[in-house]
Homo-oligomer: A and B are copies of this chain.
Amino acid sequence: MNSGQFTLSSTRYMELIDITPQVEKALSKANIKEGICYLFNPHTTAALTINEGADPTVRTDIIKAIKKIIPFDLNYQHLEGNSPSHVLSSFIGCSEIIFIKNTRPQLGTWQKIYFCEFDGPRTRKVHWRVTS
């Protein structure tokens, strides 16, 4: 299998969820020794990113900074009221590429892969695809 998807649930309005274990599982299924893994978030109020995994305060600091950077009170026209979440989705981006080495993600020492929830809590999906 060279493509698939996994599901996850967020529990807060905005949070970074470590999906490295799910990506490792996908790579294990794909069983490709060397290549590229592509991750794609099909939602418009969420994103994917790679950042530090050692200290959990980095994740909460990122959310704290994001809430400061994005204007929440701006006479937005979109009636659903979640325009800041859409803005963040475009700023952080909806895909990631990861190199595969020995059937595992070739990340830096401190890196983990995160699903960025910007309009939770919700059930979300991540699509993956690998090529050798």
Contact = CB atoms under 8 A, between A and B. Distances in A.
- Stoichiometry (number of copies): 3
A102 interface: no
A36 B131 CA distance: 9
A42 interface: yes
A50 B131 contact: no
A109 interface: yes
Contacts of A99: 3, 38, 40, 127, 129
Contacts of A65: 70-71, 74, 76, 83-84, 87
Contact residues of A: prevailing secondary structure: mixed
* Chain A interface residue bracket vs B: 35 or more
Interface of A: 3, 34, 36, 38, 40-44, 49-52, 55, 57-58, 60-62, 64-66, 68-71, 74-80, 83-84, 86-87, 89-99, 106-111, 127, 129, 131
13 contacts: A36-B131, A38-B97, A40-B99, A42-B106, A44-B51, A44-B110, A49-B90, A61-B86, A62-B87, A65-B70, A66-B87, A69-B71, A91-B91
